[in-house]
Amino acid sequence: MQALLQVFQNEWLGLYRNKLLIGSFLLLVFILSLTAWMGVKKQDQLQVQTKTANDFARNEWESIGPMNPHSAAHEGTYAYYSPGLMSSLDEGVLSQVGRVLRLEGHVQNEMAYSARSQESIYSRFGGLMPSLLLQWVVPLLLIFLSFRSIYQEKEQGRITLLLSQGLGIKQILVGKALAYFSIACIALLSTVLVQFIFLEFNHSNDVFRLIGFVISYLLFYWLIVSLTIVLSTVLKNATGALSSMLAIWVLWMVLLPKWTASIASEKYPLPSRFEFKQAMKDDRSKGIDGHNPSKDRVNKLRDSVLAKYGVSSDSALPINLDGIVMQADEEYGNLVWDKHIGGVFQSFSSQKKLSQWASVFNPMYALKSASMSFAGTDMLHHIHFQREAEEYRRGFIKKLNDEHAYGGSKTGDWSWKSSEEFFKNIETFQYTTVEISKYKSYWQVDLLILLVWSISISVLMCLISKKYLL
Amino acid sequence: MTLFQTLKNETLHIAKSKFKVIALILFFAATLYSVWQGYVVYQYRTDQISLVQKSATESQQEVLGWFKNGKSGPEERPWIDIKNPFWAMWYGNHYVIYDNHPLMVLSPGQVSDVGIYKKVSVWSTPFDQDLIPELSNAEFQVSGFFDFSFVWLFLLPLLLIILMYNIQSFEKDAGLLLLIKSQAGETNSWWLKRVLVIGITLSLWLIIVMIVPRIFMGSSFVLGNEWIEFLFFSMVYLWGWLGLYALILSRNSSQISQAIQMITIWILLVLVIPATVQQWIQMRYPASLMTEWQEVEEKRDSIYAISYDSVKAKLLSENKDLGTTKIGMLDSISDPMKKGAAYRSLYKMYIDSSSEVFLQSMEQKNSAFQSYAFINPVMWFQNRLNYLSKSDLSAILEFRRKIRVKSNSITTKLIFDEWNEVVVDSVQFKKYLEL
């Protein structure tokens, strides 16, 4: 242990003497902290914007005045997606997907108005979020810091000197790796510290997310450091080690994610928008339509309602049959939506799983996936919002249809109006970020892959040490 | 040393370096693959457009069949009268299609951010909820397509680093510079020629790759002015990076130092500066949740609360010709459909002026971004290539404007025909289809 600490200290001392490296490192920590702070500010901005929009939608809903419930269902309302606190670290898919969902009768809309549809491409790799620097720049810094670490010792013949001082080869390698790893830890912790200072972590869910986020990055940084040291040990010169690590970096960061995406999209294809709409339309037309009821289905429903109330005509019913028919149509439409959008969501899920297992070859993907997952900005969190909003829409429209059916109007009376009070009493849509445990089957795979990679490279580092250094 | 000798020497040098050979082969393969990927995207869009157009034509033929057989509409919807201009227009199935430019094969840009087509009716606006893109996995979209513009703009500088980082620096590290000087006279023209050789090779490759789509697409891929412009900007981009890296070479540092300087510049220009600009603009002009637009749409109720006389007066003040229509000349009417046409037209006028304001605000945001071009040159090139392939924001806004124009022309035609009490026949219906 003492020997390990000695190597660690020596390595730090060596780094400290290199003013350029220290300057670059301090600059990076400063930029990371600044970026984290900007992420926090952006998150605040998103929260305020979403709250304003939700207040606006609620205000619009509450001010519709006395109205026919079915007209109110067409009037509808809106749900706005606000990502959780941790989105200040990694914006994930936020720019790609819409954050506005219109909730209305007869139809399930999709999220609209994505940032990307409103602006030019400013950056191909997203905004300056901490995740961008932590995923792209910090690993590069680690590569540049450590690619000569062993080669230099070999070149200057210091390995023998260190061994003669009683140090073991494994201790030299691990000690050096730990020194570079500690630099990554400082960079990561400076980012996390800013989050702790400026964000209010009131919920254990956010703390767990932050811990998961930190663990996944630490595993990846250890992997990068140890892999660079392995190459620095194995290859004949430092340029080879640097070139190889840069090639691996480009492969992991740029090429493999795109190839994986292509393969996953081909293996689990999504329907085109045209096919999707057509299939929904076909299935829906098999059922009953609230406005244009298919005679047989409506007659059956009508007969059962007439029998229930013991009357022989619609006009004799004490309730409004139209409301019941529309609710039946809604429920049928819900089944159709569940079937088709469920299929799409299933494809997303299969694509994600395939990509995750592909990260057996590309741990960078596992890191990206875990990072988005813990930040609550991956596709699964986005889908969760859509599902919650759809649940709300179903309850919302049912209330309106029930009011139409049982609120006091008679069948065929479309001019009847519900009171303003009734509309005000319909609760608003509330959304809180899902518990991180819900998607554990996904992020556990990411963490497992990162862990296996880190352990494997560490073992490799220890195994090769004697062969190449003695 | 002549340029030919340098070319020969440099080719030998690259051929002896496995790492450089592999990098070059990978890069060449990646460019070809990216063109293929672009073609897949282009072909998918073309297929979707054909499907939509076929479906619209079938629906239109069905309506023409109703006219021929004396039917008033679909049997399950007895209230529909296809001779009425409103229903005839409704069943016209008008679509606005996003211009599928052949250069998208090389640079699909932002086309995946909006829909490929939009069914347009009298109620349509450029900001409708159904104007959403094709179904896709957003996690895959985060880093964009693997298209040619990506390979050329982002991977080419990395290839250049691999090919150039040890030019002169290797000889310096190995102590061979004096030998080179004795053979070549002076080192500057020697390493500049080596850079030139790399530039010429990649320029030739660029031309070859940009002709490749012609093999898949035949004459639909026109090698015209836009193609030449695309080639020109891609070429300028290549030589820009060569120049930048040549500046680093001129400092005559060690191999590692040159590699670090080059990769730092790549990170700055490709990653950090664009990301900073994006963050800055997004914080200054946050993506809209479109509540202002929803507010505009909510005004419909207040328009429908205005008296018919006021609505008519406003319509006539905007379009005097409406006064010459049969209904326009009457002091009062009772037909709710004809009254409805007036309210609908006024609402359309109101929403149309608002939509233009929204479109202009998006353009303003885009202009703000353009003003950062001098510090964000890579993304300037990206958007320039997207502009040429009609896949940038301006093309998206153009698509939105086309929706607006088509919906307006439908509305205007409708109010004139409804107020002139036109009875639609198959000839008139075909005229509707031409709108």
Q: Which tens digit of pLDDT belongs to each residue from B273-319?
A: 998 888 888 888 888 888 888 887 777 777 888 888 888 888 888 88
Q: What is the pLDDT of residue B258?
A: 86
* A45, A121, A379 member nearest B379 (Cβ): A121
Interchain CB distance below 8 Å, A42 and B282: yes
**Beta carbons of B113 and A273 less than 8 Å apart:** no
Report the alpha-carbon distance of residue A270 to residue A272 in Å, rounded. 6
Q: For residues A74-80, give the mean pLDDT.
A: 92
Nearest to B127 by CA among B295, B270, B278: B295
CB contact under 8 A, A126 and B396: no
Which pLDDT score, from 0 to 100, does residue A144 have?
A: 84
Indicate yes or no: CB of B52 within 8 angstroms of CB of A352: no
Q: Using an 8 Å CB-CB cutoff, list chain B residues near A62.
A: none
If one counts the domains in chain A, the total is: 1
Distance from CA of A117 to the nearest CA of B (A): 5
Q: Read off the pLDDT of residues B203-250 as tens digits, 9 standing for 90 and up.
A: 999 999 999 898 888 878 888 899 999 999 999 999 999 999 999 999
Q: What is the pTM of this model?
A: 0.87
Q: For a pLDDT cut of 70, what percent of chain A falls above it?
A: 97
Distance from CA of B256 to the nearest CA of A (A): 7
Nearest to B426 by CA among B43, B23, B69: B69
Q: How near does any CA of chain A get to the CA of B129, in Å?
A: 6
Interface test with A, best of B47, B51, B135 (most A CBs within 10 A): B135
The amino acid occupying position B358 is F
Instruction: Please determine, for residue B360, whether its predicted confidence score (pLDDT) is greater than 50.
Output: yes
Q: Could you give the 3-state DSSP secondary structure of residue A67?
A: strand
What is the CA angle A419-A424-A427, rounded to 5?
Answer: 135
Chain A residue numbers with beta carbons less than 8 Å from the beta carbon of B114 are: 117
At A268, give phi and psi (nearest 5°).
-120, 75
Helix (H, G, I), strand (E, B) or coil at B176: coil
The yes-or-no verdict on residue A364 having pLDDT over 90 is yes
Return the DSSP state at A79: E
Contacts of A95 in chain B (CB under 8 A): 282, 287
Residues 353-372 of A with CB under 8 A from B: 355, 369, 372
Pick the closest to residue B159 from B320, B32, B30, B282 (CA basis): B30
Interface test with A, best of B75, B142, B267 (most A CBs within 10 A): B142
State whether B135 and A118 contact (CB < 8 Å).
Answer: no
Can you tell me the ipTM of this complex? 0.85
Residues of B numbered 202-231 whose beta carbons fall under 8 angstroms of chain A's beta carbons: which are they? Answer: none
Q: Is A57 on the interface with B (CB under 8 A)?
A: yes
Report the 3 state secondary structure along B150-174: HHHHHHHHHHHHHHHCCCCHHHHHC
Tell me the chain B residues in contact with residue A126 when contact means C-beta distances shorter than 8 Å: 142, 275, 278
pLDDT in tens, B146-192: 899 999 999 999 999 988 988 888 777 777 777 877 777 777 888 88
Does B150 sit within 8 Å of A99, measured CB to CB?
no
pLDDT surpassing 50 at residue A457:
yes
Range of the domain at A260: 1-470
Which residue of A lies nearest to B144 if distances are taken between CA atoms?
A: A124
- State whether B133 and A262 contact (CB < 8 Å): no
Query: Cβ of A118 under 8 Å from any chain B Cβ?
Result: yes
**Contact status of A122 with chain B (Cβ, < 8 Å):** yes
Encode pLDDT of A307-357 as tens digits. 998 988 888 889 999 999 999 889 888 988 999 999 999 999 999 999 988
The predicted-structure confidence for A437-454, as pLDDT tens digits, reads as follows 999 999 999 999 999 999
Share of chain B above pLDDT 70, in %: 99
- Residue A288: the pLDDT is 46
- pLDDT on residue A470: 65
Query: Residue A166: CB partners within 8 Å, gap ≥ 6?
Result: A3
Q: According to the model, what pLDDT value does residue A55 have?
A: 92
H or E stretch covering B118: strand B117-120
Q: State the pLDDT confidence band at A1, using cuts at 50, 70 and 90.
A: confident
- DSSP-derived 3-state class of residue B100: coil
Contact B115 A124 (CB under 8 A): no
Nearest-Cα distance to chain B for A285, in Å, is 11
Q: What pLDDT is stored for residue A212 in this prediction?
A: 95
> Is B63 an 8 Å CB contact of chain A?
no
Q: What is the pLDDT of residue A287?
A: 58
For chain B, say whether A222 makes contact (Cβ under 8 Å): no
Q: Is A415 on the interface with B (CB under 8 A)?
A: no
Q: What is the DSSP letter of B422?
A: P
Determine the average pLDDT of the residues in A257-285.
87
pLDDT digits (tens, 9 = 90+) for B93-122: 899 999 889 999 999 988 888 889 999 998
What confidence tens digit (pLDDT) does each residue in A127-143 have?
A: 889 999 999 889 988 98
Given CB atoms, is A206 within the 8 Å cutoff of chain B?
A: no
For an interface test with A, the pick among B50, B53, B137, B277 (most A C-beta atoms closer than 10 Å) comes out as B137
> What per-residue confidence (pLDDT) applies to B350?
86
Task: State how far the Cα of B214 lies from the Cα of B103, in Å rounded to an integer.
Answer: 11
Residue A53 CB coordination number (10 Å): 22
* Mean pLDDT, rounded, for A259-276: 90
Q: Tell me which chain B residues have a C-beta less than 8 angstroms from the C-beta of A272.
A: 44, 48, 51, 134-135
If one counts every other C-beta atom within 10 angstroms of the C-beta of residue B377, the result is: 16
Relative orientation angle of helices B291-298 and A19-62, to the nearest 10 degrees: 10
What the block records as the tokens of A340 is: 């088709």
